[in-house]
Chain A
């Protein structure tokens, strides 16, 4: 594959990646309604908590690597070049602030209404990871659309 073909392949995959990250974040947020909609007795069952933990780890891995499943070292290098890395760093900063703000919100809420540890972890984890994923997806989509 020639260099220009590699660039075009990376371009195609980059667009797909930003769409996929956006959809994943939406699915991740939507999945939380299942958790909070479940009766208290079954809410923190091992399979439910385990599935959420696996999903969080997968999202974090995607955020940290920019798509570890993508094949081809050269294409992966182009996909994760300096503009993508800059977008990832900015998205991680958004995730950090979303985490801290949701932490403060949960803390204030707990003064008026008891919040269990599991609920707090779910809320803070979901908002932090979800916000970072959406931020990365939006930045990448915007960058692809320019010009």
Chain B
């Protein structure tokens, strides 16, 4: 069974009114990286996942979850 990493980045970002560039600047990565993570194309490293969670003041588990397809 295939597994996929789902995330709530877009919802959390839009809730705060942040652009992808603003979130990228807070995390210290490119907008493209945020974009590919949001779209499920790129699976972030633990370090980046922790930094994203810290930016949103959320836990990694609140932002990312594994979905079985």
Interface residues of A (CB under 8 A from B): 2-4, 6-8, 10-11, 14, 78-79, 81-84, 86, 140, 143-144, 146-147
Q: Are A83 and B30 in contact (CB under 8 A)?
A: yes
Q: Are B35 and A79 in contact (CB under 8 A)?
A: no
Q: Are B33 and A81 in contact (CB under 8 A)?
A: yes
A-side interface mostly: helix
Q: Are A82 and B35 in contact (CB under 8 A)?
A: no
In the complex, the chain A residue whose C-beta lies closest to that of B21 is A7
Tell me which residues across on chain A come within 8 A of B37, comparing CB atoms: 83
Q: Is B63 an interface residue (CB 8 A)?
A: no
CB within 8 Å for A83 and B21 given contacts A143-B41, A146-B41, A147-B39: no
Tell me which residues across on chain A come within 8 A of B26, comparing CB atoms: 3
> In the bound complex, what is the Cα–Cα distance between A10 and B33 (angstroms)?
11
> In the bound complex, what is the Cα–Cα distance between A1 and B39 (angstroms)?
29
> In the bound complex, what is the Cα–Cα distance between A8 and B29 (angstroms)?
11
CB within 8 Å for A14 and B38 given contacts A3-B25, A4-B25, A82-B48: no
Q: Pick the 10 closest A-B CB pairs, nearest first.
A: A3-B25, A83-B33, A81-B29, A4-B25, A7-B24, A147-B35, A7-B21, A78-B30, A7-B25, A146-B39
| Of the residues B28, B32, B38, B39, contact of A11 by C-beta under 8 Å | B32
Question: Could you list 21 A-B pairs, sorted by A, with CB under 8 Å?
Answer: A7-B25, A7-B31, A8-B21, A11-B21, A11-B30, A11-B32, A14-B30, A14-B32, A78-B24, A79-B30, A82-B29, A82-B33, A82-B48, A83-B33, A84-B30, A143-B32, A143-B35, A143-B41, A144-B32, A146-B35, A146-B36
CB of A75, distance to nearest CB on chain B (Å): 10
Tell me which residues across on chain B come within 8 A of A144, comparing CB atoms: 32, 35
